[in-house]
A and B are shown apart, each in its own frame.
Chain A
Amino acid sequence: IAGITQAPTSQILAAGRRMTLRCTQDMRHNAMYWYRQDLGLGLRLIHYSNTAGTTGKGEVPDGYSVSRANTDDFPLTLASAVPSQTSVYFCASSALAEDTQYFGPGTRLTVL
């Protein structure tokens, strides 16, 4: 059992390019989340999904989109990357919205 995985591990991206960060969990968790982590700002929620087929906006959703076509996958897309989106991105999942969240290993994204 892998738990929760993310790909790629790291990426350098030119500004204006489109990028999709992948997240997959095999724990059959209903809820999934995307956070970005920046020094001094902690973990900030970008988007979330409480169950397959539904998504919601977090604290910093602008410039990002998500989809939840099935239980296992929750991709995060940057339609046109900007340098301020340089960050470490963590995907997380929980059995239900009010349960413990488990984090993936993270993706380090640099936008030049």
Chain B
Amino acid sequence: GENVEQHPSTLSVQEGDSAVIKCTYSDSASNYFPWYKQELGKRPQLIIDIRSNVGEKKDQRIAVTLNKTAKHFSLHITETQPEDSAVYFCAEWGGSNYKLTFGKGTLLTVNP
């Protein structure tokens, strides 16, 4: 069955530092990996995604890397700012079940 493990569950960094969140998945047929940011009381919003034919994707201070052999993908945020503080969810879309499975989330706190 599909399963996504996300680590760490909480992460606290100083403003300007980098933050890395990692997810592992079990379905080798998975081919789409989005990351969502959810601020307190708000809806989840897509911040970046990657498909299985790409190893890395970058959008300004945010990047995602994918290792299909090891079945893990990571979110990298550089030069963190207080407004980056939120809960971040990884997800994987598996070709075998046609559903998006989410990790349990990482609470990122950026201290000014």
Bitwise, A68-101 to B at CB < 8 A (1) or not (0) is 0000000000000000000000100000011011
Contact B105 A97 (CB under 8 A): no
Contact B46 A42 (CB under 8 A): no
> A45 at interface (Cβ–Cβ under 8 A)?
yes
Contact of A43 among B45, B93, B102 (CB under 8 A): B102
> B61 at interface (Cβ–Cβ under 8 A)?
no
Contact B44 A103 (CB under 8 A): yes
Contact A48 B99 (CB under 8 A): yes
Contact A50 B98 (CB under 8 A): yes
**Complexed CA–CA distance, A43 and B4 (Å):** 12
Least Cβ distance of A41 to chain B in Å? Answer: 6
Knowing A98-B32, A98-B93 are in contact, say whether A90-B44 is a contact too (CB < 8 A).
yes
Contact B46 A102 (CB under 8 A): yes
Q: List 21 A-B contacts (CB under 8 A).
A: A40-B104, A41-B104, A42-B89, A42-B102, A42-B104, A42-B105, A43-B44, A43-B89, A45-B101, A50-B98, A90-B43, A90-B44, A98-B32, A98-B98, A101-B34, A101-B46, A101-B100, A103-B36, A103-B44, A104-B43, A105-B42
**Complexed CA–CA distance, A58 and B97 (Å):** 10
**Complexed CA–CA distance, A7 and B4 (Å):** 30
Tell me which residues across on chain B come within 8 A of A58, comparing CB atoms.
99
**Complexed CA–CA distance, A103 and B89 (Å):** 13
**Complexed CA–CA distance, A43 and B105 (Å):** 9
**Complexed CA–CA distance, A48 and B93 (Å):** 14
Contact of B45 among A33, A40, A41, A103 (CB under 8 A): A103
Bitwise, A40-65 to B at CB < 8 A (1) or not (0) is 11111100101000000010000000
Instruction: Given contact pairs A100-B34, A103-B43, enumerate 6 new A-B contacts (beta carbons under 8 Å).
Output: A33-B100, A43-B102, A44-B102, A98-B32, A105-B43, A106-B43
B 60-112 contacts with A by CB, 8 A: 89, 93, 98-105
Of all chain A residues, the one with the shortest Cβ separation from B2 is: A59
**Complexed CA–CA distance, A105 and B104 (Å):** 19
